[in-house]
Structure 1
Amino acid sequence: MKKFFLILGAGLFLAGKMQAQVPLQDSLLRMVKFKAYQIVEKRDTTRFYVYQTSPRPRHMLLFLDGSVPKPLFNYEYEKGQLKVYTWNHGEQHWLPEDYLYVLIARPGYAGVLSNAQIDSLNRHMPAVYLEKNSLDYRVRTADAVINYCRKKLLKDEGKTIVFGHSEGFNVVSRLLTVNKKITHGGLWCGSAMPDYYDFMIMKRRELYEGKVSDTLAARQLDTMLNNYREIFKDPGYAKPGSIYTNKRWISYARGPIEDLKQVAIPLYQIIATQDSNAPYESAFIVPLEFIRLGKTNLTLRTLIGGDHSLNTTSTEGKKVSHWKECFLDFISWSEYLIRHK
């Protein structure tokens, strides 16, 4: 049995069976066909999860999601039925059998969690998450996971695809300069410039839409610049109740375009025209810079009317998801490039 739920813009895929007591983590993961792995280092352990249907797959795909900390899996009992959910859009079900599909847990959010555990995390964010959350940390762990999978889980030198959505766009951009085994990169609904640049664009939009006066808009931008200045004055500060520390803001202060200009492998970028998180005024800097530099390794897709989660709104006012069609086009694009290189 499989159902679809929409939570925080992601799909939850369900499997169920009768169970009297809380099962072990491995058995919960088997219900959604994932397997847990870990890379143990001196001061850290990276936990990641792999979905595979072939005994020895040739290719791998790593998905790097956005900035909101959340678990990858959860479970609950409903009328005596044990149900396990995967917090993604279900890409693992749309891949050919010779692929690995890989997800990396955020610090403090690993495992298959109960609803009570998730509620607790929502009330009290794990200190380990705040301590480690940064661009450098996400890039380092993704690099380690790719190297592990290629060495121990893949059959041969097949494709290594990474794609990132939202903040994952920034992570992929930097990761591509670090891991030279990646063959294809996906840049979904992200910006070429730092976060605060996007915030300023969105504030100016309010002026153009008549929501604020020019005087107020200018004052708001001055406030943003002062806030940004204060962040750099105190890199170790963590604002109570915020999911972002100053260390996190500073780590993302360099625009992804500076990394992307160094990348030679094929890139696939999606821009959604109604994206309120990653404005197209910033996203289109990527193709503009590539044209200026004579780079030909970028494929651009534009979703007209799409929001940050690649949804459009029908004439009846209903949300229509385009995530699957965009993902399938992305995979077809990578397959075509392999056949015609």
Structure 2
Amino acid sequence: MKKAGYIFLFLLLHGFMAVGQIFPKSFFEHYQLSTKKTKSFDIYVTKPVAKGPKPLLIYLDGSGNYPIEYKTKSGRYSTSIAMNIGRYAKDYYVVIISKPGTPFSDSLQYSHSGRAFYPENASYKELYSLDWRAETASAAIDFLVKKGDVDKNKIIVMGYSEGSQVAPKVAVLNKKVTHVVCFVGNALNQLYDFMIGARLQAYSGKISAEEGQEIVDSLYREYAKIYENPTSVTENWYGESYLKWSSFTQTTPLENMLKLHIPILYVAGGRDNNQTILDMDYAKLEFLRKGKKNLTYKVYPNADHYFQEEKVVDGKVKKTDRLDEAHQYAIDWINANHQTERTPTTAK
């Protein structure tokens, strides 16, 4: 594969790394849960500020095995969670879930080239899949509802990037979910996005048409290997196991969205270099075609994958961070689409 293809795939395959508001482990109640399918896993729930039931907000972060809180080479702490949790902890129980075998907090490591990474562990390689992520979120909902103090009329699953792919699946599994919010995640088969990207690079002249075709052909060869051995945790493509890739693409996020009758918010960035908006646009079209009215599609035309904008105003580049604004839009949308009586969660 040509160098341009490697650069393009590097951009798409690296998940969200936020440099945002950091909250210590003491900010949360920690629970270790276990099911037969998922084995043991760790959830963190914001501590109640006041007595009485509150809505539940499950926040699903992006791809990769990063700790929820991590220390960079500079000594600065960052987080895999895009949302400013402290802003909403008073009104919601915000729940975050660690990846398999991954601690809440740790330092990143760096390759000779300077690329940040966190070492994989045996649990992560064995378990990490769409099913694991969806099952753990569903089990967390059941546990916390049974525990009490949860407003059952507002149980929200909110996903960012790869978490956006997981969120609709959680609602299909768990009928307690009342709202789904998906930020900057694909609607179609995730592997198709890499092909779209190669075609767009060729169309824009960044690479030749022949180079674009070479990338697409090489992708088909890799995808064939993945689907021929879909449960393998020893064979990898671009840093993730065949199990991970196959599980996230056997059922598309759009297929799961279409099974739902509850309100869904789908939020895109028009200049997203990690997740092409062409893929996301199709979801709205499919809802229209099927006459389904429970999808709200919100686009920030100038925003990238992290809701950062750059616009030229009077000859100068103006940069705007709209990440907090996008999350507040979602909270406002939830409140505006609040249902006191439940509708069926899945299609018949």
CA contact (8 A) 2:56 2:151 kept: no
Question: What's the counterpart of residue 147 of structure 2?
Answer: 152
**Which residue of 1 is the match for residue 95 of structure 2?**
102
Of 124, 138, 159, the match for 1:164 = 159
Is 1:119 aligned to residue 100 of structure 2?
A: no
Residues 13, 87 of structure 1: 8 Å contact kept: no
Partner SS, residue 194 of structure 2: helix
Say yes or no: does 1:89 pair with 2:88. no
Partner residue, 2:21: 13
Work out the CA distance in 1 between the residues paired with 2:320 and 2:211. 36
Report what 1:185 is aligned to.
180
* Equivalent runs, 1:301-340 vs 2, <5 Å: 301-315=298-312, 316-317=316-317, 319-338=319-338
Q: Provide closer, same or farther for how the CA distance between residues 201 and 103 of structure 1 changes in structure 2, counting only shifts above 3 A.
A: same
Give the 3 Å change call, closer, same or farther, for CA 241–318 of structure 1 in structure 2: farther
- Whole-angstrom distance in 2 between the partners of 1:60 and 1:264: 19
Which residue is 2:346 aligned to? Answer: none
| Stretches of structure 1 lacking an aligned partner (at least 5 in a row) | 1-6, 16-27
Separation of aligned partners in 1, 2:142 and 2:19: 28
**Structure 1 position 221 matched with structure 2 position 216:** yes
Deviations along 1:46-75, whole A, 9 cap, x unmatched? 101011323343201111111122111347
Aligned residues: 314
Report deviation, 1:122: 3.3
Partner of 1:62: 58
Residues 268 and 298, structure 2, Cα contact 8 Å, conserved in 1 = yes
CA contact (8 A) 1:130 1:245 kept: yes
Match of 2:245 among 246, 249, 254: 249
Q: Are residue 282 (structure 1) and residue 279 (structure 2) matched?
A: yes
Q: Please say if residues 57 and 97 of structure 1, whose CA atoms lie closer than 8 Å, have aligned partners that are also in contact.
A: no
How far apart, CA to CA, are the structure 2 residues paired with 1:204 and 1:263? 32
Choose from 295, 298, 310 the match for 1:298.
Answer: 295
In the alignment, is the contact (CA less than 8 A) between 1:64 and 1:104 conserved in 2?
yes
Distance 1:214 1:66 in 2: 32
For 1:141-176, what per-residue CA distance to the aligned partner results, in whole angstroms no more than 9, with x for missing partners? 010011111221424423001111111111012112
Q: Shift in Å at residue 337 of structure 1?
A: 1.8
Does the C-alpha gap of structure 1 residues 340 and 332 become closer, same or farther in structure 2, counting only changes over 3 Å? farther
| RMSD across aligned positions (CA) | 2.7
Change (3 A) 1:153 1:71: farther
Contact 1:56 1:98 in 2 (8 A): no
What fraction of aligned residue pairs are identical, expressed as a percent? 28
Q: Which has the higher contact order (CA 8 A, sep 6+)?
A: 2
Query: Alignment partner of 2:260: what SS?
Result: coil
Alpha carbons 1:238, 1:244 under 8 Å: kept:
no
What is the alpha-carbon distance in structure 1 between the residues aligned to residue 293 and residue 281 of structure 2? 15
Code of the aligned partner of 2:31: Y
Letter in 2 for 1:108: G
CA 1:190 to 1:87, structure 2 compared with 1: closer, same or farther past 3 Å?
A: closer
AA partner of residue 38 (structure 1): Q
Counterpart residue type for residue 201 of structure 1: I
Q: Give the TM-score taking structure 2 as reference length.
A: 0.82
* Residues in 1 aligned to 2:50 and 2:261: alpha-carbon distance in whole angstroms: 30
What is the CA deviation profile of residues 225-281 of structure 1, one whole-angstrom value per residue up to 9, with x for unaligned ones? Answer: 111001122231534695310011110123211111111000111111111121111
| 3-state secondary structure, aligned to 2:117 | helix
Any idea what SS the aligned residue of 2:21 has?
Answer: strand
Q: 1:261 and 1:297 mapped to 2: Cα distance?
A: 9
Cα 1:34–1:202 shift into 2, 3 Å? same
**Structure 2 unaligned blocks of 5 or more:** 1-14, 111-115, 342-348
User: Counterparts of 1:220 and 1:306 in 2: how far apart (Å)?
Assistant: 27
What is the letter of the counterpart of residue 190 of structure 2?
A: D
Of the three residues 265, 285, 291, the one matched with 1:268 is 265
More displaced 10-residue stretch of structure 1: 98-107 or 235-244 = 235-244
Deviation string 1:96-147 (CA, Å, 9 cap, x unpaired) is 623101100001212333x3xx339936321211111100111110100111
Query: Residue 54 of structure 1 contacts residue 99 of structure 1 at CA under 8 Å; is this kept in 2?
Result: no
> In structure 2, what residue type is equivalent to 1:199?
F
Aligned position for 2:33: 39
> In the alignment, is the contact (CA less than 8 A) between 2:158 and 2:182 conserved in 1?
yes
Q: Which moved more, 1:254-263 or 1:50-59?
A: 50-59
